[in-house]
Amino acid sequence: METARLVVVGGGPAGLVAAAEAAKAGAEVEVFEEDREVGLPDHCAGLVSSSGLEAITQSRSFVVGKIKGARIFSPDGRRYEAKGPGVKAFVIDRPKFDVEMLRAAERAGVRINLGTRWEGGSDGRVLIIAEGTKARVSRKMGLRPAASIPAAQVDVATNAFDGDMAEIHTGGWAPGFFAWVVPRGERARVGLASYRGVPLELLNRMLEKNQYISSKVRGARRSAPIFGKVVVGGPLRKAAGKEYIAIGDAGGFVKPTTGGGVVLGCLIARIAGRVAAEALEGKAALSSFEREWRKGFGRDFTAMKLAAKVFSNMREQEIEGALRCLDNEGLLGAAIGYDMDLQGAVVSKAARSGAVRYALLPLLRSIL
Ligand SMILES: Cc1cc2nc3c(=O)[nH]c(=O)nc-3n(C[C@H](O)[C@H](O)[C@H](O)COP(=O)(O)OP(=O)(O)OC[C@H]3O[C@@H](n4cnc5c(N)ncnc54)[C@H](O)[C@@H]3O)c2cc1C
């Protein structure tokens, strides 16, 4: 059978959602996934906002935890908390979630090729590049991949962490970024990403030397380390060309503040799928993807990128001071009321705080 005119490279959530959307819009579309199964290896912490998941699928068969808030630890170990009455986020089993997305794409009429790597360029077809952080096809098409930082995680067989709270540990445990604990039933996924140092060494150090964490994980069985790359650079300046659209991690559609890419990756993939289908019918140019994603998400990405840049340059005492200011002004507690995905509003609220600006003035002067 001849390859379809619309090819999606990569059967992760972004590729599968884009493919389903294109098929629903009437395109003949084919997904190429180099692994024999989707969702593996499972390198994702699996934390997604409940509102974001709602917008993607009604299925909950892959949910393994419900999160009501976050506990943020300052570099000195001071604890801050933002918790709401309801479920703010779900912890999902990514392999199961990806299989759900695969089934949805199949139901929409997408042809799926598992265990088949796409080696070519566009070869006269329209390509939706959803290859994650691997960037082989992106490079072939002349794209420079979005910036990413290395991450390491382990699953720890313990229920010692609060089952409805995600944890964020800032400071030297994960220089420039943060470490996290995401509870999932009888286990917790503990990990970090960092701008400096070797993530696995940093993770082992945290598991042994962080008093709070080591007291919770001591003696508990640990999985082999799980590695991955967290995209932090924000969307590519030009994610659509004449013959391609880059989406998901490949397009940089990941929150630079947290590295979370499932929700926005899927929502923006829908735009790509529809635009690609229209382009095949000559109704739109692929470049209209740029306009459309920016209309819905551009401001939020700009704000998140700025916030991430400031945070990654903060020294420990600046993080300490900023958290104290945000807490004193009631902003940390109030953050739970804001959208977890479209973070423009919460970033600008924090940026308007005089105390935070004062605490960070020297830093802001040096990097902005
Ligand atoms: C440590 C870590 C923790 C994370 N935690 C979270 C979290 O808690 N919440 C969240 O929202 N996000 C999280 N993320 C980010 C999230 O995992 C990604 O944003 C998301 O998986 C991106 O989806 P994608 O479809 O773009 O790419 P991927 O899920 O990476 O899928 C890309 C697919 O393309 C395939 N592929 C690549 N090249 C080819 C080729 N040439 N031919 C065929 N197939 C190919 C790959 O095999 C892969 O299956 C985390 C990331 C990391 C690294």
Instruction: Give the pairing of strands 179-184 and 187-193.
Output: antiparallel
Mean pLDDT of 14-43: 97
pLDDT in tens, 61-76: 999 999 999 999 999 9
pLDDT of residue 265: 98
pLDDT in tens, 299-324: 999 999 999 999 999 999 999 988 99
- What is the C-alpha separation between 41 and 59, in angstroms, rounded? 22
Q: How far is the CA of 6 from the centre of ligand 1 (A)?
A: 21
Q: How far is the CA of 138 from the centre of ligand 1 (A)?
A: 15
pLDDT in tens, 237-266: 999 999 999 999 999 999 999 999 999 999
With a cut of 0.95, is the ipTM above it? yes
Q: What single-letter amino acid sits at 69? A: G
Q: How far is the CA of 12 from the centre of ligand 1 (A)?
A: 6
Q: How far is the CA of 16 from the centre of ligand 1 (A)?
A: 12
Residue nearest to atom 10 of ligand 1 (CA): 260
What's the fold here for domain 6-46+93-146+232-301?
A: FAD/NAD(P)-binding domain (3.50.50)
Whether 140 is in the pocket of ligand 1, judged by its Cβ within 6 Å, is no
- What is the C-alpha separation between 338 and 280, in angstroms, rounded? 38
Query: What is the spatial order of strands in the sheet that 63-67 belongs to?
Result: 47-49, 89-92, 63-67
Residue nearest to atom 34 of ligand 1 (CA): 10
Residue nearest to atom 41 of ligand 1 (CA): 118
Whether 235 is in the pocket of ligand 1, judged by its Cβ within 6 Å, is no
- How far does Cα 339 stand from its chain's mean position? 15
Mean pLDDT of 287-294: 98
Q: How far is the CA of 206 from the centre of ligand 1 (A)?
A: 25
Q: How far is the CA of 331 from the centre of ligand 1 (A)?
A: 32
- What is the C-alpha separation between 323 and 320, in angstroms, rounded? 5
- How far does Cα 36 stand from its chain's mean position? 23
Whether 245 is in the pocket of ligand 1, judged by its Cβ within 6 Å, is no
The CATH class of the 148-230 domain is: alpha beta
Whether 166 is in the pocket of ligand 1, judged by its Cβ within 6 Å, is no
Helical pair 288-313 and 354-367, crossing angle rounded to 10 deg: 100
pLDDT of residue 250: 98
Task: Parse the chain into domains and list their residue ranges.
Answer: 6-46+93-146+232-301, 148-230, 311-367
